[in-house]
Amino acid sequence: AERLVAGRPPRFFRPSRANPPRLVSSTQARMPKVSKKVVAAVASEVGPLGSYVDGLVKQGLTRALGPGDRVPLEIFFNYALFSLCICLGIFTASRIISPRLFKGAMSHLKPFEVKIWHTNMVTFLPTFAVTFFALPAILKYSAERYTFIAPASAETLKATGMSLGYMTWDLMVLVFDAKDQMAAYGGVTPYVLFLFHHSFSIAAWPYAVSAGRCVYFVNYFLVSEVTNFNMSLRWYLMKTNREGGSLYFWNGILWIPLFFCVRVAVIPNLVDRYLNSDWSALGTNETWAARLLLPVPVMLNLYWFGLIITTAVRFLVTGSEGGHVEAAEGARGRAKSRKKAD
Report pLDDT for 18: 44
- C-alpha to C-alpha distance for 267 and 260, rounded to whole angstroms: 10
Report pLDDT for 32: 52
Residue 213, judged by CB atoms within 10 A of its CB (0-12, 13-18, 19+), counts as buried
Q: Which of 35, 60, 83 is nearest to 211 (CA)?
A: 35
- C-alpha to C-alpha distance for 260 and 304, rounded to whole angstroms: 10
Report pLDDT for 149: 96
Using left for φ > 0, alpha for ψ between -120 and 50, and beta otherwise, residue 241 falls in left
Residues 304, 310, 312, 315, Cα dihedral to 10°: -140
Q: Please give the full DSSP string across 112-166, using - where no structure is assigned.
A: HHHHHHHHHHGGGHHHHHHHHHHHHHHHH--S-TT-SB-PPPHHHHHHHHHHHHH
Report pLDDT for 297: 92
Report pLDDT for 319: 66
Q: Which of 267, 283, 266, 268 is nearest to 213 (CA)?
A: 283
Q: What are the pLDDT tens digits along the chain (342 aa)? A: 333 334 444 443 444 444 444 444 444 444 455 555 665 568 889 999 999 999 999 999 999 999 988 999 999 999 999 999 999 999 999 999 999 999 988 988 988 899 999 999 999 999 999 999 999 999 999 999 999 999 999 999 999 999 999 999 999 999 999 999 998 877 898 899 899 999 999 999 999 999 999 999 999 999 999 999 999 999 999 888 888 889 988 998 899 999 999 999 999 999 999 999 999 999 999 999 999 999 999 999 999 999 889 888 887 787 666 554 444 444 444 444 444 444
Report pLDDT for 332: 45
End-to-end Cα, the chain, rounded Å: 79
What are φ and ψ of residue 213, in 5° steps? -120, 130
CA angle 95, 100, 105 (to 5 degrees): 95
What separation in angstroms does the CA of 38 have from each of 19, 75, 152, 209, 213?
Answer: 31, 17, 10, 11, 9
- C-alpha to C-alpha distance for 188 and 181, rounded to whole angstroms: 9
User: 213 by DSSP, 3-state: which?
Assistant: strand
Report pLDDT for 187: 85
- C-alpha to C-alpha distance for 178 and 333, rounded to whole angstroms: 34
Report pLDDT for 252: 87
Question: What are the residue ranges of helices labelled H in the chain?
Answer: 2-6, 26-30, 51-65, 71-101, 103-106, 111-121, 125-140, 154-176, 178-185, 188-211, 215-223, 228-239, 246-259, 267-276, 284-293, 295-318, 325-341
